[in-house]
A and B are shown apart, each in its own frame.
Chain A
Amino acid sequence: MSFEYAPAPESRSVVSIKPKYGHFIGGKFVTGAKHFPTINPATEEVLSHIALAGKAEVDAAVKAARQAYTSTWSKMAGKERGKYLFRIARILQERAREFAVLETLDNGKPIRESRDVDVPLAAAHFFYHAGWADKLEFAGLGTSTKPHGVAGQIIPWNFPLLMLAWKVAPALAAGNTVVLKPAESTSLTALLFAEVCQQAELPAGVVNIVTGDGSTGALIVNHPGIDKIAFTGSTEVGKLIARAVAPTHKSVTLELGGKAANIVFEDAAIDEAIEGIVNGIFFNQGHVCCAGSRLILQESVAEEVLDKLKVRMAKIRVGDPLDKNTDLGAINSKEQLLKIRELSAIGDSEGAQRWSAPCELPKKGFWFAPTIFTGVTQSHRIAREEIFGPVLSVLTFRTPQEAIDKANNTPFGLSAGIWSEKGSRILWASQQLRAGVVWANTFNKFDPTSPFGGYKESGWGREGGRHGLSAYLKGVGHE
């Protein structure tokens, strides 16, 4: 007997998308000079046209942010700043469904994730940081902390609204004003967030949003009127930014790539581990910097885990992101799909064995079936490079030390997973792993109170918790 799922699409009537958008500068929407299309990656439908900010627009945004910092935001009492953040959190909750549908349309992620993860966490980030605004002297950084001034923030396309919240909420709580650039392919929720700022009556210029591509990002990074750069994206671009700001006074935080090891010990609860492996690599189509993209299995259970994993993967529902039963949505862009295909083809040619879940992929849009590679060795490119898609590389180990050595054999250090039922082994492994976030018997969990960020080439600094807040304050002991 087999069960069929009837379509259960979330209505898109809750959103209204304008045919064309400008930038949000000084509290107002201003017309853009040039535009580029933004599409729904699940259908390739053109959703709207996004403005491409050049020097004039970035200059205007920085000027507005500086003006707001000097005249309003830096003079306002923390308790009043905090109230604006609380208002924003509440409005995000009120308009949660609208944000979720819009995010899914623009990004391609399943509505189940945008509705249950992205948007609620974004609201939670504002609520958490709102409470910090009048308590900065208790943040453990001394009583003479100061904001940097104007923060330039550049965010990726994998969690558009959530990354905005991770950046904007602590910056504002600490007393900075911001110029934010959303990713080229996912600007719509940031532009809707601009409306939230208006509804919250946030003083003009405290949040400025300029849209565009990498060229706009470079204008922000190199702008002399900006005091602090915060970037989430690839390690390659992160290094370019680190070099660009090196000779300047700018403070920098970077959240970059990862190649997380997800280690399954032989004493793990295997069925729970299977769910964790699936969540680790197929959450958000694997477009996650902390994705558990290297599965490291103890040899004694490798066969059992792989057999069960394939059975589970065959049940992953791939398709319409707006369908409430969908598990795996669309790849965010054609460019990213080509990159995933290219690295997977390299996996084939280097001798790893590919297995993809048997599923029907929609005709239009960008899709990639959930895939695992077995027989992967540490020298394979699919074991070293971030694929940023639903592709899992499987390696094996015999001794716990070998698992740790393999897990740490990467220039990245963002996250790691451990599956074991033995407490002392979990704590031992969590100490040995060179990663900023360790998930034991769980994976891909996030919370505004929980610092997130990487060791080594996965970045500089943390986001979330007191540690994340400190990135937006001066006077932390070093220049």
Chain B
Amino acid sequence: MTSPAHEALTSSFAMTVPQPMFIRRAAVLGAGVMGAQIAAHLVNAGVEAVLFDLPASGADANATARKGVETLRRLEPSPLGAASVADRIGLANYNHDLEALAGCELVIEAIAERLDWKHALYGRIAPHLAPQAVLASNTSGLSLGALAQGLPDALGRRFCGVHFFNPPRYMHLVELIAAPATDAAVLDALESFLVTTLGKGVIRARNTPNFIANRIGAFSLLAAFHHARELGLGFDEVDAVTGTLLGRPKSATFRTMDLVGLDTLGHVFDTQRTQLAADPWHGHFQAPGWFEALLRAGALGHKTGRGVYRKQGREIQVLDPATGEYRLADRSAHPEVVEILKGRAPAERLAALRQSTQPQARFLWRVTRDTLHYAAFHLEHMADNARDVDLAMRWGFGWREGPFESWQAAGWQTVAGWIAAEVAAGEALAPVPLPRWAADPSRTGVHDTQGSFSPSRGTQAQRPALLVYRRQAMPDRVLGEAPGPRRSVFETDAVHLWSAGDDIAVIGFRSKMHAIGEDVLDGLMQAIDEAERNFRGLVIWQDEPPFSVGANLSGPRAPRSDRPKPSAVGTMMKRLRREAESALLKAAHRLNVADALMAGRLEKVEGLVRQFQATTLALRQARVPVVAAVDGMALGGGCEFVMHCARTVAAFESYIGLVEVGVGLLPGGGGLKELTRRAAAEARGGDLFAPLRRAFEAVATAQVARSALQAREMGFLTEGDVIVMNRHELLHVARAQVVALTESGWRPPGPPAPIAVGGRTAIATFKAHMTNLLVGGFISEHDFLVGSKVAEVLCGGDVDAGSLVDEQWLLALARRGFMELLATEKTQARIEHMLRTGKPLRN
């Protein structure tokens, strides 16, 4: 009776969450911006958290910690998965509440970077810690050896560094650093917790100043300062070529500095300068005069309204380091550089930059050269292997590829030769040769199918053997690394159905942003059929986020998406909404609405809506369970898929919503029907309007949940759906759910019981609400119409309140409402406007 999947489960599933150290409750010491955000992420993950700070003098001794929590409610993007979780952070102070530490299995210290303060605090808390508690410092650069000095021996074995990156909810990287006496088992247990419970990407760093990511990141900044001055480039020019063009966050170099805060960077530079006296590049570690001048002037960047950039009225201005004055920030990337970065294969890019005489190109080559030189020189000192450095830069700084990946992609020997030549010519920033391993003439790279090069071991290091990583069926891979095992079942241009050799089928979409067109619907139906015949269940899982931006009503097959470009966290949500809207409109684009109306193609559209509905029903009624594994956006039709699967497994960073009204349409694929059904189920014959209103507001205002937690609160996910903190574990958990469902005797639910609807009374009540918005000038006549159509479908149409309907009734209403809206000039104008400008039209 054992299937392959069952065997896989007994051999790995049962063992993958080792719990030698179960952390029910954690304390965070220091309610500053990092401490409070770490506490927020702990409660996001369901860990009880107590936030400590100094006692306040007033009536409320916990005022400092309270203020830290209040700050969380205002930060954007929000550190809180849902506003309600902030209430779950306990407040405490060092004078009155130290005994609360006894109930904490983990204590994370996140106070200011002062060795004497940290020592004093450790001395104070040590007697109160539970015997098995782990004490971890979120230091960003202090020596763990120095920090551990004076700790009782037993505590020293349970002390280490955990370096979160800001903002800790969104930045994947956590550097884990052993102190001299740390027990290996403590590190393993903490790493497992950080990875699976908090969802972080853990890199073990050696105990060196600034660890890995900040050290390379700071060096790369200092090198940029140097070469920008040498080549006479403006800071805005540097940003124009070091952002998305280069595969870095949109905020590029100097804007990122403003976002991070110049004071924070100043500390990182200071650590580099004071702790790394023997570093061959040490001469370049002094921050330039203009940087010091900004610090002195309190121009710390975004948080103070002025830094490298400032906004004057509507004008963005940038600092001119030569004069100390600001000027209009209007310099852009040179066409030649754009062509090189966008148009050439990776292998040619560096060569072209190096050969160019264009100062921007020369700048990019030189900074790259020095960064690669620096990373290679210090690799052995900082990290175990090259993969750790590359992933640290990707996870901690949002680089699309790590330094060694760039090097390997451009041809290891070629680049090594160039660096060596320029070191010899005295052009590089430090006159030291590449390490022997890097200059080895037989080397073709650092990453291959065997692992990544470890200078200290002289061999290829495999991925860490910790059990927790067995949960990552598809981890972030570095260049050249072997992909996970896939046995293809069938492939079309739109979808790929595969398995890992077990009896669980996995389907992925190949369309851009995983939009759902006719071909995807066909592929999905075929996959369900295949799964019913040959597998125990089906998982919908995409190689990359998003899960899906929704329906693409017609049109040619779009090419497979490129890897999504990283972007600054600060603009993430805005971009998300924009992308959602534009994808939606692209959906309607190929429809070419006007023509379609003329040519009677609306009938075809209605057929597609019908097909979409049939597919969502098929997802629900398949003989085997279909599990949606959501990461990133699941909008419109993507959300409708989610709502119809037997179960959804959602990464914490899932952004789910029905956004169709943004383009003057309504969710026609079954989403409204499902919301109606769920409202009736929730009301259980009681007040139906309250759940209907929640659904109406979510749909009529195109709300997108900003986390899986919020999606559950909004009703897109149910209590039975599963939230996964680490996106790399998503597929594992989804497969586990298929097994759990089938092993529990899962059967398709069949048609739902008759659904009680709000009818004409509830529709009228929604209209009354919208009437006030209309008269108040908050919404347009067309918004009113769209909202009314949403209400009509959601409330079961023009029938008596409390009438009983079935699924087909609601689906037919949705089709009709969708088609009626599509036939309006204003909806068509919205669609066309979105296509032309990428922005929503209010009409």
A binds B: no
